[in-house]
Amino acid sequence: TQLLEQSPQFLSIQEGENLTVYCNSSSVFSSLQWYRQEPGEGPVLLVTVVTGGEVKKLKRLTFQFGDARKDSSLHITAAQPGDTGLYLCAGVSAGNNRKLIWGLGTSLAVNP
């Protein structure tokens, strides 16, 4: 059974601080996606990483896919209160299926 371990589960920081969220697995993924989910809504895609070692930037968010495609990180620089929310990683296993394997999520609170 493939698992994605996401950490930390909860994070409360002050505005302006930096943070990193991690997703780790012992399995290889063909791609990994990061989503953000607001209460009462579905997950909204932030980014997809496909190539081992790939780095993608989305304003103050930096996403990295591990060289072996088993892990990924999300780094937020100078966090803002508007970054508050639930961040989820989800991977597509390296096989013929397309289902997403999900992490538990990181609930981020950025305090003004």
Partner 1 sequence: EPEVTQTPSHQVTQMGQEVILRCVPISNHLYFYWYRQILGQKVEFLVSFYNNEISEKSEIFDDQFSVERPDGSNFTLKIRSTKLEDSAMYFCASQTGVWNQPQHFGDGTRLSIL
Does position 42 interact with partner 1 (CB under 8 A)? The reply is yes
Whose CA is closest to 24, among 105, 103, 106, 108? 103
* Total of residues contacting partner 1 (CB under 8 A): 24
CA separation for the pair 17, 23 (Å, rounded): 20
Nearer to partner 1, 4 or 79 (CB): 4
Size (the chain), residues: 112
Does position 99 interact with partner 1 (CB under 8 A)? The reply is yes
Does position 30 interact with partner 1 (CB under 8 A)? The reply is yes
Q: Which residue has the tokens 């932030």?
A: 46
Binding site for partner 1 (CB under 8 A): 30-31, 33, 35, 40-45, 48, 50, 88, 90, 92, 97-105
